[in-house]
Amino acid sequence: MSRYRIEPEADVHLSERDPADTAFSGDKQAGRKEAKSLNRRLEALQECLYAEGKHRILVVLQAMDTGGKDGTIRHVFDGTNPQGVKVASFKRPTSIELAHDYLWRVHPHTPGNGEIVIFNRSHYEDVLVVRVHDLVPPEVWERRYDQINAFEQRLAEEGTTILKFFLHISKDEQRKRLQARLDEPTKHWKFSRADLAEREHWSAYEEAYEAVLSKTSTAWAPWYVIPADRKWYRNLVVSQLLVETLEGLDMQYPEAEDNFDDVVIT
């Protein structure tokens, strides 16, 4: 899985990364079976994380439209305990949020002890959308890379493990997914004409994402570029990375506060 990790200060070119890549020896059916096995392992690890109450996990999901953020959350975290797993979605800022600095609305959603929090979009919108659509001057969004790195370093130093996933799809795959939403009436609610307008900015978004990946993948908050044209493989890779990360924390269930050998339940 290290092949998908972006090293600090790497010069990232998305055109050199295959969104349909599958570094897996089996077929789609075998990949789904392996993902289910990883899901069961993730369930157990998340329960231990919640019980131990020492570690915090922040998962950041970013992608082009239709990249699969919702699907990743639904499949990868299926069966985990909702008491300890939360999703925070960041949409267009409210007037109150716009009256504060751009990180003000983000910090309250970061995980506490024993929690996994998933950011469905994130603070990175403030160096993506604002750049593509010229919502703030370049000198404003350019300094935000360092500000975001400092923000994430602070979280990491206070005990948060950060994993950032860019779900990398091709423009052709996006076309197919948008068409599928049009073809299926029950999916019309997921379609917006605004998606087509954003698609016109594909190259600009690629350039903006390359800058994000190059400037904000750090030792304490690495980015992973996940091939996402194949949904089953996307889920497999994200699951594997999460399981490996949680296993690396060497978590233990807490000891009982008392000896219950004499307890008899009648």
- pLDDT for the residue 120: 97
Higher local confidence (pLDDT), 73 or 23: 73
Question: Residues with Cβ < 8 Å from 2, sequence gap 6 or more?
Answer: none
Please identify which residue in the block is written with the tokens 């999916």: 187
- pLDDT for the residue 261: 79
% pLDDT > 70, the chain:
100
**DSSP characters over 213-252:** HHHH--SSS-EEEEE-SSHHHHHHHHHHHHHHHHHTT---
Q: Which of 232, 169, 252, 193 is nearest to 35 (CA)?
A: 232
What is the rounded average pLDDT of the residues 251-265?
Answer: 85
In this structure, the chain runs to a length of 266
Under DSSP, is residue 128 helix (H, G, I), strand (E, B) or coil? coil
Q: What is the rounded CA–CA span in Å between residue 98 and residue 112?
A: 25
Question: Residues with Cβ < 8 Å from 193, sequence gap 6 or more?
Answer: none
Q: Domains, the chain, ranges and CATH?
A: 2-247 (3.40.50.300)
Higher local confidence (pLDDT), 75 or 27: 75
pLDDT tens digits for range 109-142: 999 999 999 999 999 999 999 999 999 999 999 9
Name the pLDDT band for 144 (thresholds 50, 70, 90): very high
- pLDDT for the residue 260: 78
Phi-psi region of 121 (alpha: psi -120 to 50; beta: other; left: phi over 0): left
Under DSSP, is residue 61 helix (H, G, I), strand (E, B) or coil? strand
pLDDT tens digits for range 187-201: 999 898 999 999 999
Q: Residues 123, 126, 127, CA angle at the centre, nearest 5°?
A: 110
Please identify which residue in the block is written with the tokens 């605004």: 194
- pLDDT for the residue 201: 97
pLDDT tens digits for range 3-22: 999 999 999 999 999 999 99
Whether pTM > 0.85 for this model: the answer is yes
Higher local confidence (pLDDT), 265 or 165: 165
Instruction: Write out the two tokens for 148.
Output: 């975001």
Is there a contact between 50 and 79 (Cβ–Cβ < 8 Å)? no
At residue 208, does pLDDT exceed 90?
yes
Instruction: Write out the two tokens for 222.
Output: 């690495």
Is there a contact between 226 and 234 (Cβ–Cβ < 8 Å)? yes
Under DSSP, is residue 2 helix (H, G, I), strand (E, B) or coil? helix
Q: What is the rounded CA–CA span in Å between residue 120 and residue 238?
A: 14
Instruction: Write out the two tokens for 165.
Output: 């996933």
